[in-house]
Structure 1
């Protein structure tokens, strides 16, 4: 007869299954530990000859910038642009109430018409008087009076025409237009504000050329003038800075009486100006003689809050994190290491991969 009693798993098999579940994480960790880590290229922290000097903060300014002001009195009826708008030369920016100037223009036009009528009358009178005087019917004094009246009428007409031109010019001042192609930097008035001659309405600037403006202390003025090279640091797209040379520099001949600084204006090349915006802060470096400094690539520096460090390969090939103190940034040449490294230390180019478990030093 068949055996219908329930079958129970073997106790030994149950123990083996439980032990496998317990040992699985440890075995996986051991397998991961035995797996080879990534190879990270390294470079030697060797001294290089670089130009040394001093740096100051500067600000980007447009070379061509204008504050457009009102030239007529009246209420601002319309402000046709806002900050950030692009404008063309002659484009309407704002309109001022022109009812008073329009009335003045009409009045001057009427004065011109009256002066022309009086001039025609004086011309006709002068011709008649000349004909009568030639026939002896009037005296020479009468002719002199007619000629004087003609000259007076001509002067009155010229005065009326000049008044008409002045009224037309004043009428044109009620329409504020852009002086050149550019961008609106800021608006200084709104519709409904009272405009008077000289009141700023908005600021317009040309996008190029741009310049870096830096204020150099008087104590460094002689050293700045003696510097063999002046460079402006531009932000790079990959997080690395680029140093460029200005195409033109200008030093103002006066010093600020309060700050005791001298203003330097460094015009930038058009290609570099396209990466900047007015008001942006940059660094300006005045370089003199060369000196040997320990440099590492900018990509090798690990920044975490207040910590700046690099991964250094040990003799066995593993990486050790070392805190360093940074100096000047020399662009493509690298970043200066003031303290924390020894000559011939091998530094990881990619600190993120160097921090992975099992990472080993490779070759560049």
Structure 2
């Protein structure tokens, strides 16, 4: 029971004349209220938007194994330094296109240049010694023919000549080795492609075996997935294999290969699915794909992809439910989505 309150005092009525401006404002306000009261029933009786409704049912779809994977370039190379020194210049960056034989990075080659110069000087000296030994041998041979020198002198001249020949060969080999070492200071592109990433900067210290940059060829390209070892039988017995590309298209690989050994840690087997040139033309390594091993058909409840409502980790659909007044209403119901079979 509520407590009673004393009546409020009466408010005296003001008999002063109302200005014309205030009378107009009151009239407009009353007109707006009247219009709103007149429009409210019409608005309440307006029909709602038409929502397309679809009766769902089961149909035969491909059954099998669905695994996430990624795209990988078949030809991808990590270029490493083969000489020690500071990186004098890095001519490319990630995303640059390169041509076969193009110089991508140069390591400080002052030491190797000195080695090349030293090897060239050694070759010149060895050739001079060889020419001198040849002349001495020819003279000694003539003197021996005339009987002016003993056979031992001729044998000694011949030995010196052959030693000079060997010295010249060694000098030329040293020159070749110096030229090869000079080439180690330049990293060149092994084929036409793109720079995927750089692992060093100009001024960094390069050591033999240390990666400097990674390049790849855009074609050919493949999808790589890791199939659990427990599912290998299903994957090998699949009637067909399909790859869902990042643009949503399902394609069949041109060829497929399963590595003969499983990873001892993850207990998975790597599958490599080569894409055809047409399917892999616009693809980029690293993008996520899905691989489906279809082993037959099964009856599944299928929902159009356009009917799914995704909010973060929630996936739901609107379901038609009858209301108390007999009309149809809609209720949001969470669902768990299985494999995708197109739209």
1:54 to 46, 65, 90: 65
Partner of 2:309: 302
The CA RMSD measured in Å over matched residues stands at 2.9
Q: Which range moved further: 42-51 or 171-180? A: 42-51
1:143 to 138, 148, 154: 154
1:74/1:18 CA distance change after superposition, 3 Å: closer
- How far apart in 2 are the matches of 1:144 and 1:180? 55
- How far apart in 1 are the matches of 2:26 and 2:86? 95
* Unaligned stretches of 5+ residues in structure 1: 1-5, 335-364
- How far apart in 1 are the matches of 2:163 and 2:179? 24
Q: Provide, for residues 57-98 of structure 1, a one-character-per-residue CA deviation record: whole Å limited to 9, x for no partner.
A: 212221111111011111112222222222221222111111
Deviation at 1:159, TM superposition (A): 0.9
Partner of 2:292: 285
- How far apart in 1 are the matches of 2:127 and 2:26? 125
Deviation at 1:138, TM superposition (A): 2.3
Q: Provide, for residues 36-59 of structure 1, a one-character-per-residue CA deviation record: whole Å limited to 9, x for no partner.
A: 555555544232211111222212
Q: Provide, for residues 204-248 of structure 1, a one-character-per-residue CA deviation record: whole Å limited to 9, x for no partner.
A: 112222222211111111111111222222233xxxx32222212
The number of aligned residues is 321
Partner of 2:11: none
- How far apart in 1 are the matches of 2:38 and 2:64? 58
Partner of 1:347: none
- How far apart in 2 are the matches of 1:136 and 1:256? 82
2:176 to 150, 153, 165: 165
- How far apart in 1 are the matches of 2:94 and 2:303? 43
Matched, 1:327 2:337: yes
- How far apart in 2 are the matches of 1:91 and 1:33? 74
Equivalent residues of 1:312, 1:322 under 8 A apart: no
Deviation at 1:322, TM superposition (A): 4.6
1:133 to 103, 119, 144: 144
State the secondary structure of the residue aligned to 1:137: coil
2:205 to 194, 198, 221: 194
1:124 to 135, 143, 151: 135
Equivalent residues of 2:223, 2:275 under 8 A apart: yes
- How far apart in 1 are the matches of 2:308 and 2:222? 31
Deviation at 1:262, TM superposition (A): 1.1
- How far apart in 2 are the matches of 1:279 and 1:29? 58
Partner of 1:250: 257
State the secondary structure of the residue aligned to 1:253: coil
TM-score, reference length from structure 1: 0.78
Equivalent residues of 1:252, 1:262 under 8 A apart: yes
Partner of 1:358: none
TM-score, reference length from structure 2: 0.83
- How far apart in 2 are the matches of 1:57 and 1:286? 12
Matched, 1:270 2:277: yes
The 5-angstrom pairing of residues 17-56 of structure 1 reads 20-32=31-43, 34=45, 39=50, 41-56=52-67
Partner of 1:223: 234
Higher strand share: 1
Partner of 2:191: 180
